[in-house]
Each structure stands twice: as C-alpha cells, then as structure tokens.
Amino acid sequence: MNNTDFNKQLGRMLFGDHEIDSTSVELMLDTIPKVDELENVPKGTTVLVRADIDVAIKDGIVEDMSRIEADLDTVKYCYQQGWKTIIFGHLGRDKKNSVAPVCQAMSDSLGLPIQMIEDWLDEENNKLFDGFVETVNSSPSGTIFMLQNTRKYSIEQLLWDVDKKMLPEAGAKTYAVCKDIQSRLATIEINEAIAASNFDFSSSVVPILMSKTAMGFYIAEEMKTHVRSVRNANFVVFSGLKIDKLEDLEGVITRGKLKLVIAAGSLAMALLKAQAQLVGEDFFIGLAETDSSNRAFIAPKWIERAKSIVRNCRKLGVELVLPVDFVLNNTEVSKIIAEGFVQMDIGPETRLLFAQRIREYIAASKTAQEDYVMFYNGVFGKFEDPRFEAGTKSFIPLLKEMTKAGIHTYVGGGEGRLALQKYGSLDDVTHAFTCGGTILKSLTTEHIPFMKALYIQNLFSKGDPKMNQKDDSLTFLITKFKSATDFQLLEELADKIGDSGDERAIEVLIYRLGDERVQADADVEDAVCSALVKLGVMNKLGNLLYSFSEESFQSKTVSELIKRYKQWIPKKYFAK
C-alpha cells in the first residue's frame, strides 16, 4: 500500500465512508480472523500484539489484574508458536507513566521472561530506533518484548483531533512510521485491546499497513460472541456522571432495537429538562445547570441532544422511564432540585418505579417468542459514598432476577461492573464486560476505530475492489440497501435505486417496506415508496389495492394483508 492508498483509508476511517459505515458489525466480525486462524506464519516470525495494559497501579504494584489476565492466552499462544512477540499499548493519560509494573506482572503470570524496551521510536525522524530493531531481529524464537507506554510518543494520539486539512501532513508522518515498522520489524498485528476504543496510532493505524491482522482470543470472544448478542438488546439501563453518554444512548436508540430505556444520573437530568422544554415547560436541575465548575454540570448543547433522544423515543415507540424523586447533596429526598443543590442518587419512589417496570419486563419476557436481552451501564448515584448508594444497591439484585427468568443480561465495564461485584456477583448476569466505552460504541450505529482498521486491512489484503474504487452498480447499491440501518443512508440509497429504473430492485424495496426501521422514519418510507413509483410498481399495485375494501374478502388473512399494504402505500402515489 502506497502513501496515497494509506491516506485514502485513513480518511475513510476518520471522516466517514458509506461503504464502511453501512457495513454491519456482524459482517466486520465475520471478516476479521482470530489469532489461531492466521495461516503461514512460521516459527521465528515477529508479531505485534496490541494489548490492553491500561491498568491501575499503586506503589509500583498492579491493583487489578483482570485486563492483564485477558491478554495472557494470546501472548502464550504466540510464544507456543515460536513467534517473537512485541507487546505494546498505552498506560493512563500521562506520557510519563511507565509500563514496567505491568511488564513484571505479566511476566510473573506467564512464568516467562519479558524484555522491556524503554526507547523504541525516533519521532524526530519518523522511524524506529535502529538499536531496538536490531535487538528484536537478533533475538531467538519465542522471545517476548514489551514496549514502553505508547503515549510516551505524540504520534499515538496524533489523529484524535485531526481534520481534513491536517490529514496530508498527519498521514505522511503516520505512513512513514508504519512503513518502517512494516519493512524492518513486523507485518502482523494481533489486537487484544478491547478497551482501546479511541483513534490510537497503535490500534487503529498500524494495522492498515500490515499484511495480516487478527483478533486475540479474549477480544474475539467478547466481540464475536457477547457483543454480537448484546446488540440485540431491547432494554437498556443507562446512568452515570458522564453526560457524553447521551451520544451513545442516541446511537443505540437509532438502531431501532430498543423498546425500553431506564435512565438515571446526569443522563436523566438532561432528559428530564429536555422532556419538559419540549412541552413548553422547564425542569430545573440545580447546580447541574448553574455551576460550570461542578462535575455534574450539563452544558446547553447536551439538553438539545437530549431533546433529540426524546423525539426519537416517541417516533420509534421506545418507552423512556426517568426518576421521579432524588437524593440531593445534603442527603434530603426531594421531587425537585432547588437552587444550590445537585442530585446525587435516585429517591425511594424512583427505586420502586424502576423495580416495578423491570418486573413488568420480566413478566413480558415469559410469553415473548423472541429472546429478551438487556444491557446495564453506569451507576445511579455516587455509590462509593454510603449516603448515595441506595439506588444502585437496590437495582443490582434485579439483574439476578432477570437472568433467572431467562433474560440475557449484560453489564458494561467500569462502575457498573464494580457495583455488580460489590452488591452481587459476576455470576448473577450472562456476562460482565471489562470495558465500557468500546461496548457502548458497539451498540450504536458507529464503528470502533480498531474494528474499522482490522476490517479494512483484511479486505485490502484480499484485493477487495471496495477498498480501491467506488462501486455505484445496482448490485452494489442493493447489497448496501439490504443491510443499511442509518436513516440518511437508507433514504439516499432508495433514491439511487429508484433512479436506476431497473426492476431487479423491486423485491428488496418491497421487502424493506416491512422493516420497522423504515416504517419508523417518514422520510425513509417516503423515499422507498418513491423509488417503487419510479419503477412503475406503486401505481399498478395501489390502484389494485384501492379498488377493493378489506370487507371484499371472506378470508380474514387477505383482508388484513390489504389493510396493512394500504398503510404502507400512501394514496398520494396512485393515479386514479
């Protein structure tokens, strides 16, 4: 891959691309191999392992070994194959953080020596240090290395805030380093860093220039099994202090799978205020709207985002359950939040409301034909403080109730997982993830950067034409239209298919008219109907349908079909 192709793929990842963005997560996962599916990798080959080594360290000791333990099977497998393994990743936000304690902890767990490399990148010249390359190349098969914190170097976060004007310069720098890695060090990268969901150089750029990429054992299990399942969630519980989770919540709702949302914390504050303003009223949220220095502060832009979520819930028929009372920062319970106060937990009435609605969900699951899947992320209050733990503490046992009822229950990483361990057990749920951000993004219509990178590399290495040219053929448009979930993309594709004038598109257009996601957006449904008009279908079908009444047939089945098709096909499309 030359610099031009490299920059093209970077641009597609950074700024959006219909071909990539409309590809389902499921298809991406099917395209990316697992580490033990890599072929023709002989003993002595150098492989990069982007590991999840961002762990808490206190007094030089790793406090939580869960992420390191998740890396072990993949590193052990590489060692057993006789590959030279280079483990790398970031540790915290401070570039001065050293991975030495991680290196020692992983070495102890494996029972194998790991050689630490302190200085490995010459950023001034955009190349690896020669001494580092020579050390690796001269080492025996089975040697394991760990590189110092990738955030020690500015290139790791170079693309976080890049725009289109900056891309040529940033692309040239990242290409030079990637090319040097490819030509002098390694051509294979294995990703085992499920929590690294940002646009990091190590996880989202390096893979593009590799000849082979794969998922490690842990990330493959998490993504290919558990994420695939949780994407079918029809109920989510979202909470926490981070207001930017509203973006994730909106993305989950937009996918059209949800029927029920329970929200608390800062998210609920924004949604309550938005809900009130949409009907010409207001809901005062105290310090969360008056004190920009307060951690709970919610900027006006997030209220606007919350309004969009409320509208989408109404449009898609999603039930939104919000708190009705609160525990304030002075520990008093109130149904309002007065000046100078901020909510710190849900109140007793809300605890009862949430429990009641969840038990109704459990009851409905017992007679449902489809699987019920729920996802929980965040905590309801400042649960580490006993004064504000009641909301979270009362909710956690409900997870076990849902699991016992046969509901697939999933818990995001971070505080939600900690709360589960504190007030319950990991065995109380179907699965508890070790990371939060990656899982949240996986539930939305957007793709995680490292997933895009691995997918692009695997398609490009196979010579897939989609990586090199834009295909506007009817077959290609129909394929994209079948799997598209984004409303804007659906509308655009329907227009193009209608303009093709080719009757081969009729079947897929009619099929998607019965899709709830199409019916949920008037503009999309209008575009699909318009495409069928252009193809000469609607007038013929409509005139036929409207020449009958539902009572014209003795068969109830036929009558119902006529009624349904009339709902799907507006009268305005038919020439009388």
pLDDT at position 566 over 60? no
What's the whole-model pTM score?
0.75
The DSSP bridge pattern shows strands 326-328 and 343-346 to be antiparallel
pLDDT for the residue numbered 434: 84
The widest CA-to-CA distance across the chain, in whole angstroms, is 86
pLDDT for the residue numbered 473: 59
pLDDT for the residue numbered 131: 97
pLDDT for the residue numbered 506: 73
**What percent of the chain stands above pLDDT 70?**
86
pLDDT for the residue numbered 535: 72
Query: For all residues of the chain together, what is the average pLDDT?
Result: 88
**498-535 pLDDT, tens per residue?**
777 666 677 677 767 766 666 667 777 777 777 777 77
pLDDT for the residue numbered 12: 85
Q: Is 485 helix (H, G, I), strand (E, B) or coil?
A: coil
What is d(CA 519, CA 568) in angstroms, rounded to the nearest whole number? 8
User: Which residues are CB-contacts of 424 (< 8 A; sequence separation ≥ 6)?
Assistant: 396, 397, 399, 400
pLDDT at position 556 over 60? no
pLDDT for the residue numbered 106: 97
**21-45 pLDDT, tens per residue?**
878 888 899 999 999 999 999 999 9
Q: Is 431 helix (H, G, I), strand (E, B) or coil?
A: strand
pLDDT for the residue numbered 515: 67
**238-260 pLDDT, tens per residue?**
998 889 899 999 989 988 899 99
What is d(CA 238, CA 27) in angstroms, rounded to the nearest whole number? 27
What is residue 372's DSSP assignment?
P
User: Which residues are CB-contacts of 439 (< 8 A; sequence separation ≥ 6)?
Assistant: 227, 230, 375, 377, 410, 412, 413, 433
- The count of other CB atoms within 10 Å of the CB of residue 232 is 15
Two structure tokens written together for 450: 């490292």
Least confident piece of the model among 15-29, 361-375, 448-462, 512-526: 512-526
What is d(CA 381, CA 389) in angstroms, rounded to the nearest whole number? 6
Q: Rounded to an integer, what is the distance from CA 152 to the centroid of its chain? A: 27
3-state helix/strand/coil string of 54-87: CCCEECCEECCCHHHHHHHHHHHHHHHCCCEEEE
pLDDT for the residue numbered 471: 42
Q: What is the identity of the amino acid at 84?
A: K
Q: Which of 97, 96, 99 is nearest to 115 (CA)?
A: 99
pLDDT for the residue numbered 414: 82
pLDDT for the residue numbered 283: 97
**54-64 pLDDT, tens per residue?**
998 999 999 88
pLDDT for the residue numbered 5: 85
pLDDT at position 478 over 80? no
332 versus 576: the higher-pLDDT residue is 332
The DSSP bridge pattern shows strands 57-58 and 61-62 to be antiparallel
What is d(CA 33, CA 462) in angstroms, rounded to the nearest whole number? 13
pLDDT for the residue numbered 564: 56
**65-91 pLDDT, tens per residue?**
989 999 999 999 999 999 999 999 999
Q: Is 470 helix (H, G, I), strand (E, B) or coil?
A: coil
Confidence class of residue 536 from pLDDT cuts 50, 70 and 90?
Answer: low
What is d(CA 41, CA 22) in angstroms, rounded to the nearest whole number? 32
- 522-534 vs 506-513: helix axis angle to the nearest 10? 150
189 versus 5: the higher-pLDDT residue is 189
Average pLDDT (560-575) is 53
Average pLDDT (400-418) is 93
pLDDT for the residue numbered 466: 54
What is residue 337's DSSP assignment?
B
What is residue 330's DSSP assignment?
T
Confidence class of residue 470 from pLDDT cuts 50, 70 and 90?
Answer: very low
Least confident piece of the model among 264-268, 342-346, 437-441: 437-441
